[in-house]
Amino acid sequence: MEKSVKKLIDTHGRVHDYLRISLLERCNLRCTYCMPAEGIVLRDKAEFMSQEELLTIASTFVEFGIKKIRLTGGEPLLKKNFADIIHELSKLPVELTLTTNGILLDKYIEDLRRAGVNKLNISLDSLQEERFNAISRRNDFQRIRSNIDLAIRENFDIKLNVVLMKDTNEDEIIDFIELSNESHIKIRFIEFMPFNGNKWDWSKKVSFAEIMAIVSSHYGEENILTEPLPPNSTSKNYRIKNFKGDFGIISSITNPFCDTCNRIRLTADGKVKNCLFSSEEEDLLGALRSGKDIKERIEKVILSKRAKHAGISSFESEEGHSNADHNRTMTAIGG
């Protein structure tokens, strides 16, 4: 008989079965909207989960009915023991996946395959080398492009994450969608979100309506087909008639998907967060190290989850800047 599982259900009736684990805070890029140019302050290794601790905490989540685990960061492929971690996680009964900037993908493609990973989210904010290198403050465009081609050839199901920003890359919307003409790639345009110190400014936003107006005027409204929404989808998805892939729009701020949110986050230093925008955390690693019950803490954090955006009613201060400075940076949360 199947063992009954105590699920992570919050006070709004949402079942949480998707865990995002940040493997580390460091990154090999310095995307302007995510990381300061000088990088982050490096912390003592002992403050972060060891491989064994990470696996213990992940297994506890699986006992609570987690069905999908995404590894993120910082840049997850920078983690020294990445191959071991993914191998060990592959023994759990979950769908494993990864969000990466793609720089080191060629090095780990076999490990990912062996661990049963079929889906990858790769981030790329411009198809123009100089522009991408300016946004990411590094010179890795060619390597990332060739790794995306490699992953396509290797038949990974790829979502390409593009953070859209005014006067930065919004003129490339059609160029990105054109990638979905010949391959099954899924383009995901992401609204620029506020985090601690990322100089968020509402005027940089490219709205859902603006994106759709650009797409309609280029392809004609009759050629934009609406794709069915999978459960817990964060994006509204469309396909251009006869294109193999699709494109989607993730408007976390203007069109939030909080109603169907099934996500919970574990930071690299072992804190659990119930929302990307929440500053409230429970210290699972500290509890584990002092022999305390981590299950109780996981349940507590789920029960305190707010209905929308961690209870923040507006992200904008009167000056039009971010009200989210109480939260961690994106790299310290795990995007």
Contact residues for ligand SAM, defined by CB under 6 A: 27, 33-34, 72-73, 75, 99-101, 123, 161, 163, 190, 192-193, 195, 198, 330-331, 335
Q: Which residue is nearest to ligand SAM (CB)?
A: 335
Site string for ligand SF4, 107-136 (x = CB under 6 A): ----------------x-------------
C-alpha to C-alpha distance for 332 and 309, rounded to whole angstroms: 18
Evaluate whether 254 touches 242 at the Cβ level (below 8 Å). no
Q: Which residues contact 3 (CB under 8 A, 6 or more apart)?
A: none
Q: What is the dihedral of CA 128, 174, 27, 113, to 10 degrees?
A: -110
| Residue closer to ligand SF4, measured from CB, 14 or 74 | 74
From the list 304, 223, 231, 222, the residue with the least C-alpha distance to 262 is 231
User: Among ligand SAM, ligand SF4, none, what binds residue 30 when CB lies within 5 to 8 Å by partner kind?
Assistant: ligand SF4
Site string for ligand SF4, 272-301 (x = CB under 6 A): ------------------------------
Asked if 250 is part of the footprint of ligand SF4 (rule: CB under 6 A), the reply reads no
| Residue closer to ligand SAM, measured from CB, 10 or 194 | 194
For 74, other C-beta atoms within 10 Å of its C-beta total 27
From the list 92, 62, 80, 77, the residue with the least C-alpha distance to 29 is 77
293 residue type, one letter:
D
Q: Tell me which stretch binds ligand SF4 (CB under 6 A): 16-24, 67-75, 85-93, 126-134.
A: 67-75
Asked if 333 is part of the footprint of ligand SF4 (rule: CB under 6 A), the reply reads no
Could you give the 3-state DSSP secondary structure of residue 170?
A: helix
C-alpha to C-alpha distance for 162 and 190, rounded to whole angstroms: 6
| Residue closer to ligand SF4, measured from CB, 21 or 294 | 21
Asked if 75 is part of the footprint of ligand SF4 (rule: CB under 6 A), the reply reads yes
Asked if 54 is part of the footprint of ligand SF4 (rule: CB under 6 A), the reply reads no
User: Among ligand SAM, ligand SF4, none, what binds residue 35 when CB lies within 5 to 8 Å by partner kind?
Assistant: ligand SF4
Give the burial string for 260-285 (b: 16+ CB within 10 Å, else e).
ebbbbbbbbbbbbbbbbbbebbbbbb
Region 23-42 residues binding ligand SF4, contact defined as CB under 6 A: 27, 29-31, 34-35
Residues that bind ligand SF4 (CB under 6 A): 27, 29-31, 34-35, 73-75, 101, 123, 330-331
